[in-house]
Amino acid sequence: MAIRTRQSQRRRQALSRERIIEAAVELLDAAGEGGLTVRALTERLATGSGAIYWHVGTRGELLDAATDTVIAAALAAEPARAPDTPQDEIRVVALGLFDAIAEHQWLATQLAIQLTRSPWGPVTLGIFESIGRQVRALGVPQGNWFTATSALVHYILGATIQNAQIGEDTSVAEPDADRADADRAEFLDAASRAWQELDPGDYPFMRAIADQMREHNDREQFLAGIDLVLTGITHLQPPTGQAHIAE
């Protein structure tokens, strides 16, 4: 009995909250949200369910913790080249989130849940703080900070979540990068052909952009959208102390 007790104590000491969350992220990446069960996690960690609940809590709390961990890492990642301006800093944050959601397919749904149900939680706070500081550095008047920051956050997350879900095959248990790329190309090609076959009298614009939609680069399009939002913010909400001159 004493030997078993000492072994259990060593197992609990070696099992940390961080290790549990790391294993949860691994399961989510491999099999999606449906693959994250307490049973699968205990088998992966060679521990009991009690240790999971002790360190993290319920499955919902574990999902929240996994989301927070991945987003915190994305926001803290150091770029290859130091940003020169607040606009550059916003692009770095935006691309960090874009890449995190592209790498972790399950993250899109969890982010949407966090933002709508827990605007006071660490995920929402971290994203808004990272973008908001740069909006302030742009010189946007304080009365417009929330509106400008919300516009950027909504675009960044909306575009990244939509991008992650295009062509997604939820029937595949373990995501495969080559398969995902092929599915996406097939999806875009099908959509483009459908647009080209629309009635030219009813949808002249959609027919005109069909080839552009098929051939677009997701990251380039995403950054172009960021630049459009930033241009609008700096044009419509000039820095404090500067008069806005209408054109």
Mean pLDDT of 223-239: 85
Predicted confidence band at 125 (pLDDT cuts at 50, 70, 90)? very high
Report the C-alpha gap between 174 and 195 in whole angstroms. Answer: 32
Residue 122 falls inside a structural domain: no
What does the DSSP assignment read for the chain?
-HHHHHHHHHHHHH--HHHHHHHHHHHHHHH-GGG--HHHHHHHHT--HHHHHHHT-SHHHHHHHHHHHHHHHHHHPPPSS---SHHHHHHHHHHHHHHHHHH-TTHHHHHHHHHHH-TTSHHHHHHHHHHHHHHHHTT--GGGHHHHHHHHHHHHHHHHHHHHHTT--TT-SS--HHHHHHHHHHHHHHHHHHHHTS-TTT-HHHHHTHHHHHH--HHHHHHHHHHHHHHHHHHHSPPTT------
Residue 33 falls inside a structural domain: yes
Residue 230 falls inside a structural domain: no
Which phi and psi angles does 81 have, rounded to 5°? -130, 130
Residue 45 falls inside a structural domain: yes
pLDDT in tens, 65-80: 999 999 999 999 888 7
Residue 34 falls inside a structural domain: yes
Structurally, the chain folds into a number of domains equal to 1
Predicted confidence band at 201 (pLDDT cuts at 50, 70, 90)? very high
Q: What is the CATH number of the domain that holds 25?
A: 1.10.10.60
Q: Please report, rounded to a whole number, the percentage of residues in the chain having pLDDT higher than 70.
A: 83
Residue 219 falls inside a structural domain: no
Residue 26 falls inside a structural domain: yes
C-alpha torsion sign, points 60, 63, 68, 69: positive
Range of the domain at 4: 1-57
The residue written with tokens 């001159």 in the block is 245
pLDDT in tens, 151-197: 999 999 989 888 877 645 443 444 455 555 667 778 888 988 999 99
Report the C-alpha gap between 182 and 82 in whole angstroms. Answer: 34
pTM higher than 0.85, yes or no?
A: no
Q: What is the structure's pLDDT at 129?
A: 96
Residue 73 falls inside a structural domain: no
